[in-house]
C-alpha cells in the first residue's frame, strides 16, 4: 500500500482551470484508506478528495 500526504481540508477549485486545494497537511504519511476513513478530507500528491465516508468507495 502506497503512503502519501493526508490533509485535514479539501477545497474544490473555485474557477475553471484551477486545481483543487488541500490544506492542513498532517505530520505523517499514511495510506489512502487510513487518511480517508479516519483522519482527513484529501490525500496524495497531486491532491485528490477522499470519497464520502458512507460511499462504497470509502469502505
Q: Where are the domains of the chain?
A: 3-49
In 1-59, alpha helices (H): 32-34
Q: Counting beta carbons within 10 angstroms of the beta carbon of residue 22, is it exposed (0 to 12), middle (13 to 18) or buried (19 or more)? A: buried
Task: Supply the pTM of this predicted model.
Answer: 0.77
Helix (H/G/I), strand (E/B), else coil: 48: strand
Q: From first to last of the 59 residues of the chain, give the pLDDT tens digit.
A: 899 999 999 998 766 777 788 999 999 999 999 999 988 999 999 899 998 866 555 44
Amino acid at each position: 500500500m502506497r503512503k502519501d500526504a493526508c490533509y485535514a481540508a479539501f477545497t474544490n477549485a473555485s474557477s475553471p482551470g484551477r486545481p483543487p486545494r488541500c490544506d492542513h497537511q498532517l505530520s505523517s504519511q499514511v495510506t489512502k484508506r487510513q487518511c480517508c476513513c479516519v483522519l482527513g478530507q484529501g490525500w496524495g500528491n497531486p491532491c485528490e478528495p477522499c470519497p464520502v465516508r458512507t460511499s462504497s468507495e470509502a469502505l
